Structure 1
């Protein structure tokens, strides 16, 4: 499976979080920042149910395309580290993931399509409010796990490629940039919590 249970659950929760209760009313906000559109409890449940079902459908193409990719690699390029293997492997991985991403995107935007004729009940959220909500949903533990994951990825790559010389140094540059970005986001979260 492309997505672990934890990641799938986060996607389901992120989708459900677009529906916010305000007293007795429920509003749909696209990606939690769009203009609020009033929905009923039954509509909310139908949207969430349909999304969960479509998320499962999105995973179905992956095993089939993966088996096809492995077959092509074995048949055409048994040496996956060679040029032919790389030319088959990377486009194949993209091909394996693309149908799932398209289905997931289509499922995510289903409420937008179905509610497009309804008049919004207010304005979209401003950038500061969206940023505050996003930072409140992140934890410092997530930033730490991301930084450790980046370091482990570079260590794994260094087992097969010299990351201290030539083009291999780009791995170190990219890792440094990503860790700096992670630290920056953690500092921004800290600042938002203090204001």
Structure 2
């Protein structure tokens, strides 16, 4: 009996040890879907996280997230390089260190200054913080809080984004996008430390 249990204990410990932690954010953490889409994150300074989304290293997008949550910049990646013409920025009225961390059942409404397509504007964003649950990526499991973002100033009242925020890692990824014309769901099934 002991000979059977010992390998199981060793394998379980090895699987748990392989699960990324917040300490791995300097190297990076990568999520992958069943279809091969991926999103990789790494910290780039105090309260800032860079995210890379794509199907391969040549096409996708790069984001900058304050506190691993609030989008401050997005730019398309074409042929492996950022395309400056696609860059959009979102300026919040608070520095990242003062932007709220999500609290279950809470929320935040904010108006941000925007710059996209050569135009300056503003956008109201309403964040609704959901209740904590557990999210599993193969052998790794984390606390997860769904966060819904609505944009009431837009002509499309159905537009909303749903993020999955992992407080143990300090990052969030886009899990759902909805508008009057379409819905997209990004279902990541694995997580690993970036190489």
State if a TM-score over 0.5 links the two structures.
no
Bigger radius of gyration: 1
TM-score, structure 1 normalization: 0.21
Of Structure 1 and Structure 2, which has the larger fraction of its residues in helix? 1
TM-score, structure 2 normalization: 0.21
Of Structure 1 and Structure 2, which has the larger fraction of its residues in strand? 2
